[in-house]
Structure formats: structure tokens, C-alpha cells
């Protein structure tokens, strides 16, 4: 595990906790975690590491909101 990987794991955990706290009443925590991990996977290697926190939060939050709009 590299320092970069460890930092990305910390960021992923932080974003997951933040969004779970915000949306747990309307979406199961497991679904939120899956969305956050999927978003991280999609961003990995596509953006500079310094932007991961903000971009992960934005993308995952967008996907959570989109999931809530589905019937």
C-alpha cells in the first residue's frame, strides 16, 4: 500500500461517512458505500490526486441523488 493509496482510502471513508450521514434516512448505507466506491474507481487515474476529495464527494453525491430519483 502506498501513501497515495492510503490517502485515497481515507478520503473514500470520509466521503462515505459524510454522505451516509446525509442520506441514511432515505437510502441504505450499503448502497451509499457502493456508490462512493464506484465513483472512486471511476475517478482513479483520471484526475490529479490532490483533487480526489472534492471530486469524489461531488460525483458520489450526484450519483446518490440520481439513485433517489429512480422509481
Is residue 60 classed exposed, middle or buried when 0-12, 13-18 and 19+ CB atoms within 10 A define those classes? buried
Indicate the pTM of the whole model: 0.86
User: Which pLDDT value is given to residue 9?
Assistant: 84
User: Each residue of 13-22: pLDDT tens digit?
Assistant: 999 999 999 9
pLDDT score at 70: 77
Determine the pLDDT at residue 51.
94
Amino acid at each position: 500500500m502506498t501513501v497515495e493509496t492510503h490517502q485515497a482510502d481515507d478520503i473514500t471513508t470520509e466521503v462515505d461517512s459524510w454522505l451516509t450521514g446525509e442520506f441514511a434516512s432515505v437510502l441504505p448505507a450499503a448502497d451509499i458505500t457502493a456508490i462512493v466506491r464506484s465513483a472512486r474507481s471511476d475517478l482513479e487515474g483520471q484526475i490529479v490526486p490532490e483533487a480526489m476529495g472534492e471530486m469524489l464527494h461531488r460525483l458520489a453525491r450526484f450519483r446518490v441523488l440520481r439513485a433517489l430519483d429512480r422509481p
